[in-house]
Amino acid sequence: MTDKKTRKGRTNSWTRYGKVDMTESLRFLMDTATANKTEREWVRWLQSDLERKGSKEVRETSSLKPCDTVHMNWKGRALLAAKVGKKGLSSGVTVIASHIDSPRVDIKSRPLYEEGNLALLDCHYYGGLKKYQWTNVPLALHGEIHKGDGASEHIVIGEDASEPVLMIPDLEPHVDRDMAKRKASETVVGEDLDAIVGHRPIENDETENPIKEAVLSLLKDRFAMEEQDFLSADLALVPAGPARLAGLDESMVSAYGLDDRICTSMSYKAFCDMETPDKTAIFVAVDREEIGSESIGGIQGTFLDLFLLELLRSAENRSDILSLRRLYSESCAISADVTSGMNPLYKKNYVRDQQALLGNGVGVVKFTGSGGKYDGNEARGEFVAAVIACLDRAEIPWQTGSFGTVDKAGGGTIGKYLARTGMDTLDMGPTLLSMHAPMEIASVADVEALYRSYIALWSDLGHF
């Protein structure tokens, strides 16, 4: 199957799935992307759905059999799940891991202030975003308020059409001649990414900051929130509104956070839908990838070790470090992350024949990093060949993924941290346009290819 006609048919998602009903996978993606816009919301929803389907908390199990599903919520920041395979854990596991954090605008610890007859929130952007793209965009406030007595409250303001949105105001063109001379990276500086949250003063002429006080009064009435609660709160501004179909022909989907929740959504759906695998299937959704995988929910932590040790304990009554290391050595992983698609408006930023195209299937990325492959992951050729063969057997469209021109582009994923464990690891995911913008774009047909690729890998890669 190497002739050009066949090859063309196999590498284009529309040729492969154009006559297939793709509604189920597309709707699942759009629903989950609309409902969950922070890592905590994703973890909460994943745990709830797993438990509804009969999954048990792995730390509460004492025995496991093939097709059993167990999970672990790691402190509200990451979630891991396993579907027990027909073979024992000594034969290894197959991991598909994605991240559930996305670029956003976080609220600082002492944020509320008043100036110019406005109340504003002092903010700090999260992740590698183009700051100017986040001004004048309707934003919703998502997060958690945590009290000293252990109580927490989840809040969302701005998603329902009846609710107000927040906005970061830009400077109008009439008074921005100096700003127009700045480099694009300096058009909007980080300290200017503050959001307007109020304008109506409280009815008290003696108050020094009546608008700020009015906002505090509103927060206290609605959420029992005091000003000092900002310090312990986890609050962020994200683009308001639902995922939408894009293009006059409805051939694309546009949503906030497709990097990397398109992979989370489709790998989770595949995890739930697949039959009992030969090797145990591991679903992983982690936090903090966008800023280096640090902190409590990042993949550099020890929670994957803990989860696999709990599996060994429950399934095989052993939990020693040697067993864990041997398990890793027999395992393989897919770092499920998106790749940059060729934007025809900026062709000079890409390399001919190296860049993925929207609609040509999942992107297989042999190596990541930048500036001489620095700080990236590179998969062994043997594993790349095994993954491609698996995709070909399932007739999944795939293409080569890349991050643009040498020394001018690059990027990293959680792949290098997965590889540190001893697992063969390959980066693979769909192609996006406008990555890290408030709304990103993916091909509807690639969504279907992505879902089917995960089922194929969990079902057929176990022999590697």
Residue 249 included in any domain = no
Q: Residue 13: which of 29, 26, 28, 30 has the closest Cα?
A: 26
Give residues with Cβ within 8 angstroms of 252, minimum separation 6: 245, 246, 358, 441, 442, 443, 444
Q: Which residue has 């199990």 as its token pair? A: 61
- Please give the tally of structural domains in the chain: 2
The reported pTM is: 0.95
Answer yes or no: do 303 and 365 share one domain: yes
Do 211 and 330 fall into the same domain? no
Looking at the fold, whether 309 and 455 belong to one and the same domain comes out as yes
Is 123 part of a structural domain of the chain?
yes
Contact 351, 402 (CB under 8 A): yes
Torsion of CA 333, 337, 342, 346, to 10 degrees: -130
Q: Which of 191, 210, 239 is the last residue of a domain?
A: 239
**Residue 357 domain-assigned?**
yes
CATH number for the domain spanning 371: value is 3.40.630.10
Whether residues 334 and 439 share a domain: the answer is: yes
Extract the residue ranges of the chain whose pLDDT is less than 70. 1-11, 370, 374, 403-410, 462
Residue 138, SS3? coil
Structure tokens at 6: 């066949």
Same domain, 214 and 300: no
Residue 94 shares a structural domain with residue 113: no
* Residue 246, in any domain of the structure: no
Mind giving me the DSSP string for 275-317? ---SSEEEEEEES-GGGTS-STTSTTSSHHHHHHHHHHHHHHS
**278 and 388 assigned to the same domain:** yes
**pLDDT per position as a tens digit, 294-312:** 999 999 999 999 999 999 9
* Same-domain check for residues 191 and 273: no
Tokens of 41: 């919301």
**CA nearest to 415, candidates 42, 43, 40, 99:** 99
**Residue 37: which of 125, 129, 101, 106 has the closest Cα?**
101
Cβ neighbours around 385 below 10 Å, total: 12
pLDDT for the residue numbered 410? 66
- Do 276 and 145 lie in one domain? The reply is no
Residue 330 sits in the same domain as residue 193: no
Given a contact cutoff of 8 angstroms between Cβ atoms, the answer to whether 387 and 457 are in contact is: yes
Considering the domain boundaries, does residue 444 fall inside one? Answer: yes
Q: Burial of 352 by CB count in 10 Å (0-12 exposed, 13-18 middle, 19+ buried)?
A: exposed
Between CA 238 and CA 240 the distance in angstroms is 6
d(CA 356, CA 358): 7
Please report, for the domain that includes residue 135, its CATH number: 2.30.250.10
Answer with the one of 239, 273, 304 that is the final residue of a domain.
239
Q: Cα-Cα-Cα-Cα dihedral of 31, 53, 264, 195, to 10°? A: 50
Q: Do 96 and 128 reside in the same domain of the chain?
A: no
Residue where one domain finishes, among candidates 177, 205, 239: 239
- Tell me the C-alpha distance between 255 and 30, whole Å: 8
Rounded distance between C-alpha atoms, residue 287 and residue 406, angstroms = 28
Max distance between CA atoms of the chain, in angstroms, equals: 81
Query: Is residue 247, in this structure, part of any structural domain at all?
Result: no
| Domain hosting residue 388, numbered range | 4-102+256-460
Looking at the domain assignment, is residue 244 inside a domain? Answer: no
Domain-located, residue 93: yes
Same domain, 381 and 269: yes
